[in-house]
Amino acid sequence: MDMSEQDADKGFDKSANTGLTHLVNATRFSLNGLRACFANESAFRQELAIFAILLPAGAFMASTLLEMVLLLCACLLVLSVELLNSGIEAAIDRHGGAHHEMSGLAKDYGSAAVMMALFIVAVVFAYIMYGFFFQGTGL
């Protein structure tokens, strides 16, 4: 059952979804998506666990607030891309288990997007580590 079917089952009236009501509903839907991704996607949980270690380490080693903000944004980017990838996979899986080349490509593209976002985190963290270990050494 997709979101529009769920909304219909709950009697969701999109025409009344304006202003503050829209903000409350959008927040509720977003939190539902985060909960579902946490419950159903091991990659999302693994990334959260890694970032729970990486962010404090980065905060300790960062020489500027900007470095810390960049690391936080890179980590949030990974989680955002993982949510999108999970959405792609859920939409494809909804259509059944029959293998289709285009479905496989869509899933591979989503996975590659997550990998690129993880590379961004690695580059930012490497930059912070370089500054921490080699600042003032002339390297």
> How many whole angstroms separate alpha carbon 137 and alpha carbon 22?
54
CA 88 to chain centre: 13
Which residue among 5, 41, 67, 82 is the active-site one?
82
Name the DSSP letter for residue 17: -
Angle between helices 19-40 and 65-94 (to 10 degrees): 80
Number of helices and strands (H, E) in the chain?
A: 5, 0
41 is catalytic: no
Q: Is 59 exposed, middle or buried (0-12, 13-18, 19+ CB in 10 A)?
A: middle
Active-site residues: which are they? 82
